[in-house]
Amino acid sequence: MLEGLTKAAMIELISREFSDVSRKGGVSWSEAWIIDKYGSMEEMLAARSSDTDQTWLEVAQREEWRTWEHCPWSFLDKIGFRYYLVAAVMRFLLTGEDCLESSFFTFKFYNSNYDSFTRGQLVALGEYLRYRAELPRREALMMVLDEADMSWEDYVASGETWTPEAWSDWQEPLEIWQKFLASS
């Protein structure tokens, strides 16, 4: 392992594959929260109009967006789910804030309308899962390299293939995802 994309390459891939994703016509985050609370149509419309973001990247960068404090994922339609899923993925890549749990990602995605994603977007999400699954190994390897006062470039040039055994809760979703991509 450890040959996956770097964080910078992952950000580029996600940005490219999801560049045209909007939530136009879809349920907004605040609206989903009101739906969860059995709000009225007026409350839902007011909540939708309060979400003024224009892009998922804007949501990902918004400091006050907290995905687990207010968890209306189940009340998003397929447009809103795709929009906020990519925002949560990008938020992790940009800030390190964990917005998704591996079990949630697997459960929710397989119980959603994944047909609204393009093949390129599905592959990009697979790369994200691989990145997440490899992250504990990468961090352990970087600690060893730091201790040995060796740069990543020196490690690659050395031809060594040290891969620490570090458990990752993203390994199972990655394996499921790889089977899903192979069958689709």
Between CA 86 and CA 80 the distance in angstroms is: 10
Query: Domain residues of the chain, as ranges?
Result: 9-183
- Among 32, 177, 170, smallest CA distance to 114 is for 177
126-172: pLDDT as tens digits: 889 888 888 877 777 777 777 778 776 777 788 776 666 666 788 88
> What is the Cα gyration radius of the chain?
18
Per the prediction, the chain carries an average pLDDT of 83
> For residue 108, what pLDDT band results from cuts at 50, 70 and 90?
low
The model's pTM is 0.80
Identify the DSSP state of 77: -
The set of residues, in sequence order, having a beta carbon less than 8 Å from that of 41 and lying 6+ positions away, is none
Between CA 84 and CA 23 the distance in angstroms is: 9
Between CA 107 and CA 152 the distance in angstroms is: 35
Residue type, 84: Y
- Among 168, 6, 21, 11, smallest CA distance to 91 is for 11
